[in-house]
Structure 1
Amino acid sequence: MVVEQILELWETRGDSQYGQEAVTQREHALQTAMLARQADASAELVTAALLHDVGHLLHKLPEDAPDQGIDDRHETIGARWLQQHFPPEVWQPVVLHVPAKRYLCAVDQSYLHHLSQPSVQSLQLQGGPMSPEEIAAFQKNPYAEAAVQLRRWDDDAKIVGLETPRIEDFRPELEASRMDLRQDDSV
């Protein structure tokens, strides 16, 4: 049932603009998931890539919230929703993809120059580059590496007109990642 909810959510809200980027929410999600699939990521990480910005579709804030100085906390909203249906291998990289941006800005001098202007703008709302203490804490998180990989795909998934699989084509990864199926398999 959750897979049907996801497909419906993308069908009804996926054509909204992805912030101030030149792609829609759906185009961005599909490009991110395609990059994860091309990297031979696990089903859980492909699912995280597909759904990393689902919080944008769930909140009721205006699309220009960052222009109004509002951090929509989409990573937290999305992870809370995903946590009801998927294991930590899915929702942890989602909740950490914003901290991963802050982490990369702090540890990789060239990374900031790779970000789009809207990502730079949201970075400031999200706390800017991490402090040394935040870096150390982030590196200890068992999902930090997955979050950094997701973040890099996220940053590269903003290409206008890029041909991608359809959302339905990711059903195998979505189904394989569902928590309720994993519990049934362990019986």
Structure 2
Amino acid sequence: MNLPGRWKQDDSQDVVAEIIELFRDRGDSGYGHEAVTQLQHALQAATLALESNATSQLIAASLLHDIGHLLHDLPDDAPDQGIDDHHENVGFHFLKTHFGPATYEPVRMHVDAKRYLCAARPGYQETLSEPSQVSLRLQGGPMNPAEVTQFESNPHYHAAIELRIWDDTAKDPDKTTPPLEAFEPHLRRALAANA
């Protein structure tokens, strides 16, 4: 996966400022075929986490769960072309350099959480938007029983499920959220938790 030039560096002095800059530079890109931008989607997911009294690490994960979409150079319609962009892995590798597992593991696992919920929660798959159904097929479809067991063995699987539910809900073009800067303290607390 080719990352935009300046994002190849892992030795950033202020990763929070870089993340905010990344959202400013690329956050207005479309969120697939959903009616929101990448930034709107991220802010809505983080707001849902905040409203649920999640930890700063999980609020940061909710804000950053799709950062992989902003870090690669694939087109917004990659799923329509049959391409799984593996954004969860791109995001995980970027975040693992700076954050702890309570932040990067839910990000890494949020795609698998969709697959898990499709297998473990009857009726869940039917609630997914059409673009999410398309990406589900590219991502492997519902988990098989062995994958379900393996997913449940990760200590962060409950957080990944929470993030997934917020992710599914964070697609309202009319929803009002706090601005990006309002989440900076949560990003900094999540970083400090890993120090």
Aligned mate of 1:81, from 94, 98, 111: 94
Aligned: 1:134 with 2:147: yes
Deviation at 1:87, TM superposition (A): 0.4
Q: Aligned partners of 2:127, 2:164: CA distance in 1, in Å?
A: 12
TM (norm. structure 2) is 0.92
Q: Aligned partners of 1:91, 1:64: CA distance in 2, in Å?
A: 25
> Deviations for 1:44-79, whole angstroms, at most 9, x for unmatched residues?
000000000000000111111000000000000001
Q: Aligned partners of 1:92, 1:108: CA distance in 2, in Å?
A: 21
Deviation at 1:167, TM superposition (A): 0.5
Residue equivalent to 2:28? 15
Q: Which amino acid aligns with 1:125?
A: L
Residue equivalent to 1:27? 40
Q: Aligned partners of 2:24, 2:95: CA distance in 1, in Å?
A: 18
Aligned: 1:150 with 2:155: no
Aligned mate of 1:54, from 37, 61, 67: 67
**Helix, strand or coil at the partner of 1:178:** helix
Q: Aligned partners of 2:127, 2:61: CA distance in 1, in Å?
A: 22
> Deviations for 1:58-116, whole angstroms, at most 9, x for unmatched residues?
01111110000000000000010000110011000000000000000001121111110
Aligned: 1:45 with 2:61: no
Aligned mate of 1:94, from 83, 107, 113: 107
Aligned mate of 1:117, from 104, 126, 130: 130
Aligned: 1:106 with 2:114: no
Q: Aligned partners of 1:57, 1:132: CA distance in 2, in Å?
A: 33
Q: Would you say the 8 A contact 2:60–2:187 is kept in 1?
A: yes
* CA 4–38 in structure 1, closer or farther in 2 if over 3 Å, else same: same
Structure 1 outlier segments of 4+, above 2 Å: none
> Deviations for 1:133-152, whole angstroms, at most 9, x for unmatched residues?
00000011101000000000
Percentage identity across paired residues of the two chains: 53
Q: Would you say the 8 A contact 2:57–2:103 is kept in 1?
A: yes
Deviation at 1:7, TM superposition (A): 0.5
Q: Aligned partners of 1:115, 1:50: CA distance in 2, in Å?
A: 20
Q: Which amino acid aligns with 1:147?
A: A
TM (norm. structure 1) is 0.96
Length, aligned pairs only: 182
Q: Aligned partners of 2:183, 2:89: CA distance in 1, in Å?
A: 23
* CA 141–182 in structure 1, closer or farther in 2 if over 3 Å, else same: closer
Deviation at 1:182, TM superposition (A): 4.3
Unaligned runs of 5+ in 1: none
